[in-house]
Amino acid sequence: MSTADASLTAALVGNGIIATNHVRALARQGGVRVAVLVDPDSEARAKIASLIVAETGWPAPAQFDSLTAALAAGAPDLVIVATPSGTHVELALEALAAGAHVVIEKPLDTTVGKALPLARAAREASARGQIVSVISQHRFDPASVVVADAAHGGALGRVTSAVASVAWWRSQDYYDSGAWRGTWALDGGGSTMNQGVHTVDLLVWFLGRPVAVFAYAAALAHERIEVEDTLAATVRFANGAIAVLHTTTAAFPGLSVRVNVHGSKGSAQLDRDQLEYFYAEPAEGTDPAVLGDTHVDPTRVGPRNLASGLVPAEHLAGGPVPDDAFVQGHSRQYDDIVGAIREGRAPKVGVDDALRSLAVVRALYVSASLGREVLVSEVLAGQYDDLVPDPAATQEPL
């Protein structure tokens, strides 16, 4: 496997909706071309192949109905796993065994028990120079980076709490569009695992190691699904911070994702992946003349919003949103992935990062099913691997 060429080759496994985003993100990034498509559905493969030819200038990709067949024809530099969630680990392990680097679309998989063998395999592969990264594109949003840097660097003081809401809408047709959607086995969950896992990941990134959760969950506005469409929870972190999390796919017509992070010396707010508010107390000893009117006494009239001086206009709440904003997030993460491959370093988001977020989501489901607080460490230790979540079990009858 050579990484010295100007363009790395990739096999895109899973040619559904999200595959389009990966193709466009890679075309924008410029360091990788999709040379192989893998999907048992020939029509799905043909659709993505047509997109590649029409939009990227790459040669028409080879097509296979299984990863095994594709690898037998020659391993690409990179295998991108964009299949239903419950198949991620199996395919990633096969790709690693063939010597390829691996990128996995979120989430890592559906259970911690399935994901732990991949975490071990990824560490072993790292010693051989292979990288494994899991898509967590919002860690690369400029607004999110500002908040993370402030939280980690002390600009917010002691981080005390966070409030996050994913208030989306998904129609019944969405869940009916694929037999795997809304199932525990292949979707791994509903509004939290599928739509909210990125927000869970941001909370973990901002606030640190999660310790315990308490959750309520239910399916309130959809039929023929096993999973939740609404969840509300609290999460405790090792540093003492407490977060409130809300996810739903039953908020018609669909609102924004909002994340507030609060500390003893500052606060920040994200809305639709843009920076809506930011304030951090000036460092001790800062000359007031240097600050001008950018800071005021918060005990009197409240602090000024400093967000506009921290990110470009398109990353400010209410600013112009590029047509390809969703693609840009993946493209920024691919910048890091390609850099990691070429430089022989670890990617910024690895399997262990994704495993922590997966463990939080699983802990939320266990808590909602058992009606009590659940320790994240218990989930990571495999204590609930065999539990099939049933949030309805703890709901009082109406």
- Assign residue 58 the CATH number of its domain: 3.40.50.720
Half-sphere exposure of 36 (CA within 13 A, CB side): 24
Residues 149 and 288 in one domain: yes
Number of structural domains in the chain: 2
Question: Which pLDDT score, from 0 to 100, does residue 281 have?
Answer: 86
Run of H or E residues at 208:
none
Q: What distance in Å separates the CA atoms of residue 383 and residue 380, rounded to the nearest whole number?
A: 8
> HEC profile for 142-157?
HHHHHHHHHHHHCCCC
In a domain, residue 90? The reply is: yes
**DSSP E strand boundaries for 127-280:** 132-134, 159-167, 210-218, 230-237, 242-248, 257-263, 266-271, 274-280
In a domain, residue 384? The reply is: no
Residues 182 and 302 in one domain: yes
Return the residue matching tokens 């496994």: 13
Question: What are the distances in angstroms from CA 145 to CA 2, 139, 268, 322, 336?
Answer: 32, 7, 12, 19, 14
pTM of the model: 0.92
In a domain, residue 372? The reply is: no
Q: Give percent of the chain above pLDDT 90.
A: 87
Residues 268 and 143 in one domain: yes
Q: What distance in Å separates the CA atoms of residue 96 and residue 56, rounded to the nearest whole number?
A: 27
Inform me whether the pLDDT recorded for 1 exceeds 50. Answer: no
Residues 180 and 315 in one domain: yes
Question: Which pLDDT score, from 0 to 100, does residue 396 have?
Answer: 60
Residues 304 and 340 in one domain: no
pLDDT band at 4 (very low <50, low <70, confident <90, very high): very low
- Enumerate the β-bridge partners of residue 192: none
Residues 332 and 206 in one domain: no
In a domain, residue 370? The reply is: no
In a domain, residue 159? The reply is: yes
Residues 299 and 171 in one domain: yes
Neighbours of 27 (CB within 10 A): 19
In a domain, residue 394? The reply is: no
* More confident site: 391 or 208: 208
Residues 301 and 155 in one domain: yes
Residues 263 and 337 in one domain: no
Residues 124 and 164 in one domain: no
Residues 103 and 216 in one domain: no
Domain holding 189, by residue range, is 139-321
Residues 188 and 243 in one domain: yes
- Assign residue 313 the CATH number of its domain: 3.30.360.10
Neighbours of 163 (CB within 10 A): 16
Average pLDDT over residues 161-187: 96
* More confident site: 3 or 385: 385
Contact at 8 Å (CB) between 40 and 342? no
In a domain, residue 149? The reply is: yes
How far, in whole angstroms, is CA 66 from its chain's centroid? 26
